[in-house]
Amino acid sequence: MVRFGKKLMADQVPEWRGYYINYKLMKKKVKQYGQQLQQGEKDRRRVLKDFSKMLDDQIETIVLFLLEQQGRLASRIEKLGKQRAILVEQPDISAIAELREAYREVGLDLIKLLKFVDLNATGIRKILKKFDKRFSYRFTDYYVSSRSNHPYSQLQQVFKHVGVGAVVGALSRNLADLQERQGSYLSIYDQPSSALKDPIIDMINSSVDKLTRSTNFLRFLGQHALIAQEESPSTAGEEEIEDQKYHFVSLMLNLVNTFLYMVNTYIIVPTADDYSVSLGAASTVCGVVIGSMAVAQVFSSVYFSAWSNKSYFKPLVFSSIVLFLGNVCYAMAYDTKSLTVLIVGRLLCGLGSARAVNRRYISDCVPARIRMQASAGFVSASALGMACGPALAGLLQWRFKVYMVTFSQSTLPGWLMAVAWLLYLVWLCISFKEPNRATEADDTPHNRASGQSVDIGQVENGLAQPLLGDSESKLNDDDDDDEEDESEESAQDSRKPATSIGSAYRLLTPSVKVQLLIYFMLKYAMEILLSESSVITSHYFNWNTSSVAIFLAILGLTVLPINAVVGTYISNMFEDRQLLMASQITLLVGIIFSFKVTSTYSVIQYVVSALITFVSAEVLEGVNLSLLSSVMSSRLSRGTYNGGLLSTEAGTLARVVADCTITAAGYLGIGSLLNVTLLPSLVICAASIACTFLTYNSLF
């Protein structure tokens, strides 16, 4: 993996060399400041002032050159527009072709400018990170907060590339008109369904999409999965290696595994309280029954994550067998009259959770060009499973016996899932193709070990592939500077994944810890809402199993539409950190509105508050995982103890605590259950909002 200093030198436009960030000088200054502080030659305040001024000067040079180039491009487009106006009156096919080529040349220069902005933005963020690491000081928070919102901000020009959008729009419109309607000159605005076919437009759109951190629906879904979106292969050989590992049916098997597991998780929720009562326990014991699956998942996530380092097929087979046995035990608990068998069945189901394997397969074996689609598929499968689980429970309202085995609304979910996992196991054994581990190992040094966990759309990580098609990588004496910095950030250490929970924890910055707290909070609030829904609605509204199932299914079905709205529109209007704060506040409102504070508790209050809580938690999850991937150490993007595992453990632990809270609160009486279980949600949510406020400026 070429380090950034070398990449910066290799990817520079030669005639623009003097206008890029002087990354080598900045690194040397950081090192020099460290020595001066140790020797007492300068105090910390003077260092911060000098470094701020130097970085301001660097950004000013970049911005002034950027504005100059924007003006030149705009002037060229204006001149071409005049030629185009003449051709409207006197069409000439050869002249139209020449004009189109002239627009394409402007497009190539625009792509060069977008790459210029991208490299400098990456350099600024990296040097700020390096400064923070060297001095153990959160200088980035101060610098970004003081510059980004200032009316004369030049930092905004780099990170928001103000003005470039107008140039992009003008060029794309004119080039598209010429491409689509040679001689007719109908506007693209008159053809909203027309696809833009010119490759230059595609390249420009791809560049802008990366640079603007725009988040469409597909990317917003992919962020929920917290799957590393690495840089696309830059050579045909690397694409061939990825294609060798990719097998479509194997990917589908992983997505089906995800779907079935989520169905398995939520199919028992509407009937768990009745099942507990039928075995002689209190209805609130449903919290233990539901939560026991999450308890086992805390441990299964670790060994499945480690197992996926060696194989994908064997963990999936093991998962299917364990889940089959777990569901059989769950279904047989009724006839054995044993609550213990019921809980053991759910524990076995939790031990079969292979979501870590599903995530890892997508990250490691799906080509980068379709990895975001696969990540979105992972989240969509989860959301669909969440909705289908309760819906199926509502349909399984029969009761009959076959020999000595009882089939009822309580046991049928277990039998249905046992059959589903058995069929899945057969399909898995017939169709799954284990990736070539030797090929994956060869690919690792370039991709996996690079530590670049790329959240598509993040400016920090650059464009996915060389836009100018320059395959050469000529390096000069600036490369030596990367070698000098080994004491600060050893190449081996910076790429080495965490090898234990302890080492992973030491890599967690305050920003990451806050994001994990938020993830814990939202999963806790959702689990309280879902797990106690059957008990609460039965107590206050006399809902039957079918009514609860419909209610939960409707909640689950809101996931994809809400993500579509947020991912397509809202995320393009606001920053992630703004959405993070707003969704937490909305979630807090939903929790407060859920409390029973009067003598009566209406269906409208419960349903509305549940919708507010659930929808805001879903929005919060996507934004939270997006920010988590951007503030997390690159060393947590791979290995057994990766960011996906940490977030899974935080969410699973939240579910365990929530389900235990429901059971414990049951001893105070069902009448007190709602308020007692909501109180921790309220406190944790308020705490997460406070922590977000304290780290707000670091979420950039």
- Contact status, residue 204 vs residue 110, Cβ threshold 8 Å: yes
Longest dimension (CA), the chain: 89
pLDDT value at residue 488: 43
Q: How far apart are the first and last CA of the chain?
A: 25
pLDDT band for 608, please (50, 70, 90 cuts).
very high
The band of 489, judged by pLDDT with boundaries at 50, 70 and 90, is very low
**What is the three-class DSSP state of 22?**
coil
Beta partners for 405? Answer: 402
Query: Under CATH, which number does the domain 245-433+507-695 receive?
Result: 1.20.1250.20
Residue 340 has pLDDT above 70, yes or no: yes
Q: Left if phi > 0, otherwise alpha if psi is -120 to 50, otherwise beta: which for 451?
A: left
With contact defined as beta carbons under 8 Å apart, do 507 and 633 qualify?
A: yes
Which H or E element spans position 407?
Answer: strand 405-407
Tally Cβ neighbours within 10 Å of residue 668: 12
Distance (Å, whole) CA 688 – CA 691:
5
For residue range 127-164, what is the model confidence (pLDDT) as tens digits? 888 887 777 666 776 677 667 656 666 666 565 555 66
Structure tokens at 283: 């209805």
Determine the Cα–Cα distance for residues 452 and 440; give it in Å rounded to an integer.
17
> Domain residues of the chain, as ranges?
4-181+198-224, 245-433+507-695
Long-range CB contacts for residues 82-91, cutoff 8 Å, separation at least 24: 84/174, 84/178, 88/185, 91/183
For residue 510, give Cα distances in angstroms to 62, 354, 671: 31, 29, 39
Q: What is the pLDDT of residue 210?
A: 60
Q: What's the CA gap between 218 and 226, in Å, rounded? A: 13
pLDDT tens per residue, range 86-127? 877 777 778 888 888 888 888 888 888 888 888 888 888 888
pLDDT(445) > 50: no
Provide the pLDDT confidence category of residue 484 given band limits of 50, 70 and 90.
very low
- Is the predicted pLDDT of residue 579 greater than 50, yes or no? yes
pLDDT of amino acid 325: 97
Take residue 496 and report the two structure tokens written for it. 């080495």
Distance CA 217, CA 571 (A): 9
pLDDT exceeds 50 at position 486? no
Average pLDDT over residues 288-292: 90
Predicted structure pTM score: 0.64
Give yes or no for residue 564 having a pLDDT over 90: no
- Return the top range by mean pLDDT from 290-299, 369-378, 451-460: 290-299
> Is a pLDDT exceeding 90 seen at residue 604?
yes
- Per residue in 14-40, pLDDT (tens digit) is 899 889 999 888 888 888 888 888 777
CA–CA dist 594, 598 (Å, integer): 12
Beta strands in 295-368 (DSSP E): none
pLDDT of residue 244: 60
pLDDT at 367: 82
**pLDDT recorded at residue 460:** 30
CA distances from 266 to 385, 527, 549 (A): 8, 11, 10
Residue-level pLDDT at 157 = 59
**Residue-wise pLDDT tens digits, 199-234:** 776 677 666 666 654 334 555 555 555 555 544 444
Q: Locate 48 and state its tokens.
A: 């911060």
Q: List, in sequence order, every residue forming a beta bridge with 402; answer none if it has no partner.
A: 405
- How far, rounded to the nearest angstrom, does the alpha carbon of residue 673 sit from its chain's CA centroid? 34
pLDDT at site 110: 85
Bigger pLDDT: 495 vs 419 = 419
pLDDT digits (tens, 9 = 90+) for 466-477: 333 333 333 334
Q: Which two tokens stand for residue 332?
A: 């047989």
**pLDDT for the residue numbered 677:** 94
d(CA 416, CA 523): 27
pLDDT value of residue 478: 41
The closest of 416, 420, 303 to 357, measured between CA atoms, is: 303
